[in-house]
C-alpha cells in the first residue's frame, strides 16, 4: 500500500504539483431487499481503487483508477497534474489551502456484532417474518431492506499526513403500501426511504425490533386510505423526529455548505441565502434554535475520525441561540473567508474528488416533552415520516409531505389525517419554532442518500433531532 501511495505522491510532485493527496479505498457492501414474501434482491459489491488530487499551476486536478499498482498510481498522478494544468487556463487566482494540523493515525471502528459475520439466512428471515406480519387485506406491496458496509480508507498527502480509517455501517427498514384502487398510502419504519442507518453493526437491526412494529406499519397504511384529508390553512404543527431530520437536512445542512455559498455548486444544486455578510448577524431561527455540525458523535452516520482532507472531526455551531454563526467548510473555502477548517470534505468513493458534505447536522435538544409540545396547540397537526420534499436552489421556499399526520385539537391528539403537507420560507419557519423536545426524545437519524456535486456523489450523513413545534405554518397543498 505504502509503495502505491509514495509512487502517486512522488509522481505528482515530479510532474509539477505543489500539493497532492491520495486516497485508497476498499469497500464491501451487502444489500438485501424483500418484496411481497420473497427476496427481491440479494447482492454483494466490492470496490477498490485510488484517487489522486493535486494542485498544479495554482489549479485543481483529479484522476482515479481501479488498478491498484505503483505503476498505475504514477500514471494517475501524472494525469491529475495534466488536468490541473488545463484547469489553469481560466485561473483567476491560485488555489490556497488553510493550514491544518497534520496527522498520522490509524482508527478502527468497534461494533458489537460484525454484520458480515451474521448468516444471510438470519437477515433474510427478519425481513420475511416482518413481511408476513404486514400481509393484511388492503396492503398491496410489502418491502424490507438491509444494508451493511465495511470499508478501509487510507489518506496521505505531500504535507505528511497518513491516516487509515475503518468504517462499518448498518441500515434497515420496512414499509407497507396500501391501496383501494384510487390512491396509494405508505407507512415505513423506522423511517422512509430505506429506514435508519448508523455506524453500528448488526445490533442496529436487533434493536429496531421490526417484528414488533410490522403490524402497526401495515395497519396504519390501510387506515390512511379511509382517513380524512389533512386540513388546509395556517396552523401550528409538531414535526416528529424522522421528518424533522429531513427539514434540518434541507433547510440548515445544505445552505451552510460553504462551496454552495461561494457559487461552486451553482451549475447543479444551486447556491444559498446564507451569504457571508449574514455570518454572525442573521436571525436564522428563534432563540431556542441551536444547530450543530458534529462529526464526533459516536455511531452517527455522518461521523468519522478524519475527513478526506485529513482534518480531524470537530463539533461546531452553525446556528447558536437562533443566530447563523457557522459554515461547513473545506481547507480552500475556509481560507477564502479566514475561517478555521472544520473537516467536512468527503468523497463518495475513491473515484470522486472530495467536496463539502454535511457531517451530523443536529438540532440540539430543548426542554419539553412531546406531550407538552402538543398540549400547547389549540388547532394543528402532528406530522411524521417524510414522503415528499422540495426546496428552491437558494434553500428558502420549501414544501414537504409526510406519510402520516394526526389532528391536534385543544392540546390533544385526535384523528389520523392523510397526505399532510406544509410549506414555508426557511428562516420564517425556524423563527416560528417555540418548543423543542428534550434529550430523552433525541435520536440521530441516518440519511444514506444525500446527492450533491458534479459528477453527482451520494453521501451518508445524519441528523440528531427531537420533535419540535412551529407556529402559524401553511399546511395543506393537496386538496
Positions in 147-186 near another protein (CB under 8 A): 177, 179, 181-184
Reduce the DSSP state of residue 277 to 3 states and report it: helix
User: Looking only at residues 254 through 273 of this chain, which bind another protein when binding is defined by CB under 8 A?
Assistant: 262-267, 270, 273
> How many chain residues touch another protein (CB under 8 A)?
79
Residues in 323-362 that interact with another protein by CB under 8 A: 351-353, 355
How far, in Å, CA of 332 to CA of 329, rounded? 8
Considering the complex, state which of residue 198 and residue 333 has its C-beta at the smaller distance from another protein: 333
Extract the C-alpha cell encoding 168: 462499518
Strand blocks (E) in 212-300:
228-229, 233-239, 291-294
Nearer to another protein, 302 or 401 (CB): 401
Q: Among the residues of 25-144, which ranges form H helices?
A: 70-87, 120-134
61 binds another protein (CB under 8 A): yes
SS3 (DSSP) at 334:
helix
Residue 112 vs residues 109, 173, 205, 330: alpha-carbon distances, Å: 10, 20, 12, 33
C-alpha cell at 203: 445490533
Confirm or reject binding of residue 235 to another protein (CB under 8 A).
no
Instruction: Determine, following the binding rule CB under 8 A, whether residue 96 of this chain makes contact with another protein.
Output: no
Q: Using the rule CB under 8 A, which residue among 99, 340, 378, 454 binds another protein? A: 454
Q: Which is nearer to another protein, 117 or 121 (CB)?
A: 121
Per-position x/- string for 283-322, each x denoting binding to another protein as judged by CB under 8 A, each - no binding: ----------------------------------------
Largest Cα span, the chain: 73
Q: How far is the CB of 283 from another protein (least distance, A)?
A: 15
Question: Binding to another protein by residue 397, rule CB under 8 A?
Answer: yes
Q: Does 112 bind another protein (CB under 8 A)?
A: no
- Residue identified by cell 399546511 is 475
Phi and psi of 247, rounded to 5°?
-60, -45
Contact letters for another protein, residues 423-452 (x by CB under 8 A): x-x---------------------------
The verdict on 10 binding another protein (CB under 8 A) reads: no
Q: Using alpha carbons, select from 172, 155, 138 the residue that is nearest to residue 8.
A: 155
Binding letters toward another protein, positions 17-56, x by CB under 8 A: ----------------x----xxxxxxxxxxxx-------
Write each residue from 201 to 230 as x if it is in contact with another protein (CB under 8 A), else as -, in one continuous string. Answer: ------------------------------
Among residues 175 and 360, whose Cβ is nearest to another protein? 175
How far is it, in rounded angstroms, from Cα 453 to Cα 252?
Answer: 18
What is the rounded (10 degree) CA torsion for 336, 338, 339, 345?
30
The CB density around residue 182, as the number of other CB atoms within 10 Å, is 6
Q: What whole-number distance in Å separates Cα of residue 266 and Cα of residue 358?
A: 17
| Residue 101 vs 277, nearer CB to another protein | 277
Cell of 141: 406491496
Q: Looking at 18, 135, 213, 394, which residue binds another protein (CB under 8 A)?
A: 394
Amino acid at each position: 500500500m505504502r509503495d502505491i501511495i509514495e509512487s502517486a505522491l512522488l509522481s505528482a510532485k515530479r510532474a509539477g504539483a505543489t500539493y497532492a493527496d491520495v486516497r485508497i479505498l476498499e469497500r464491501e457492501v451487502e444489500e438485501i431487499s424483500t418484496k411481497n414474501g420473497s427476496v427481491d434482491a440479494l447482492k454483494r459489491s466490492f470496490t477498490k481503487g485510488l484517487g489522486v488530487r493535486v494542485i498544479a499551476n495554482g489549479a485543481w486536478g483529479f484522476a482515479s483508477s481501479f488498478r491498484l499498482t505503483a505503476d498505475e498510481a504514477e500514471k494517475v498522478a501524472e494525469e491529475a497534474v495534466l488536468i490541473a494544468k488545463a484547469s489553469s487556463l481560466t485561473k483567476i487566482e491560485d488555489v490556497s489551502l488553510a493550514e491544518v494540523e497534520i496527522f498520522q493515525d490509524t482508527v478502527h471502528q468497534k461494533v458489537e456484532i460484525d454484520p458480515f459475520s451474521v448468516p444471510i439466512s438470519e437477515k433474510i428471515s427478519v425481513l420475511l417474518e416482518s413481511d408476513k406480519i404486514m400481509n393484511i387485506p388492503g396492503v398491496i406491496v410489502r418491502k424490507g431492506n438491509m444494508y451493511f458496509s465495511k470499508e478501509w480508507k487510507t489518506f496521505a498527502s505531500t504535507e505528511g499526513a497518513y491516516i487509515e480509517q475503518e468504517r462499518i455501517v448498518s441500515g434497515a427498514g420496512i414499509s407497507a403500501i396500501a391501496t383501494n384502487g384510487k390512491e396509494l398510502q405508505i407507512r415505513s419504519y423506522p423511517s422512509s426511504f430505506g429506514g435508519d442507518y448508523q455506524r453500528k453493526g448488526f445490533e442496529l437491526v436487533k434493536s429496531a425490533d421490526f417484528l414488533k412494529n410490522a403490524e402497526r406499519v401495515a395497519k396504519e397504511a390501510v387506515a390512511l386510505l379511509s382517513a380524512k384529508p389533512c386540513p388546509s390553512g395556517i396552523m401550528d404543527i409538531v414535526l416528529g423526529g424522522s421528518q424533522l431530520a429531513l427539514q434540518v437536512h434541507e433547510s440548515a445542512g445544505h445552505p451552510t455548505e460553504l462551496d454552495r455559498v461561494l457559487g461552486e455548486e451553482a451549475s447543479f444544486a444551486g447556491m444559498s441565502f446564507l451569504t457571508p455578510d449574514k455570518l454572525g448577524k442573521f436571525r436564522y431561527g428563534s432563540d431556542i434554535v441551536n444547530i450543530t455540525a458534529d462529526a464526533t458523535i459516536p455511531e452517527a452516520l455522518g461521523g468519522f475520525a478524519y475527513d478526506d482532507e485529513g482534518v480531524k472531526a470537530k463539533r461546531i455551531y452553525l446556528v447558536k441561540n437562533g443566530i447563523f454563526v457557522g459554515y461547513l467548510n473545506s481547507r480552500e473555502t475556509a481560507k477564502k473567508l479566514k475561517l478555521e477548517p472544520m473537516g467536512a470534505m468527503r468523497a463518495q468513493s475513491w473515484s470522486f474528488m472530495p467536496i463539502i458534505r454535511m457531517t451530523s447536522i443536529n438540532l440540539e435538544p430543548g426542554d419539553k416533552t412531546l406531550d407538552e409540545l402538543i398540549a400547547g396547540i389549540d388547532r394543528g397537526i402532528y406530522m411524521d415520516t417524510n414522503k415528499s420534499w422540495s426546496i428552491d436552489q437558494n434553500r428558502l421556499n420549501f414544501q414537504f409531505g409526510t406519510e402520516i399526520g394526526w389532528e391536534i385539537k385543544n392540546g390533544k391528539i385526535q384523528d389520523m389525517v392523510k397526505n399532510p403537507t406544509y410549506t414555508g420560507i426557511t428562516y420564517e419557519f425556524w423563527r416560528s419554532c417555540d418548543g423543542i423536545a428534550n434529550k430523552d426524545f433525541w435520536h440521530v437519524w441516518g440519511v444514506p442518500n444525500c446527492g450533491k456535486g458534479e459528477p453527482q456523489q451520494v453521501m451518508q450523513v445524519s441528523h440528531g433531532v427531537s420533535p419540535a413545534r412551529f407556529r402559524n405554518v401553511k399546511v395543506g397543498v393537496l386538496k
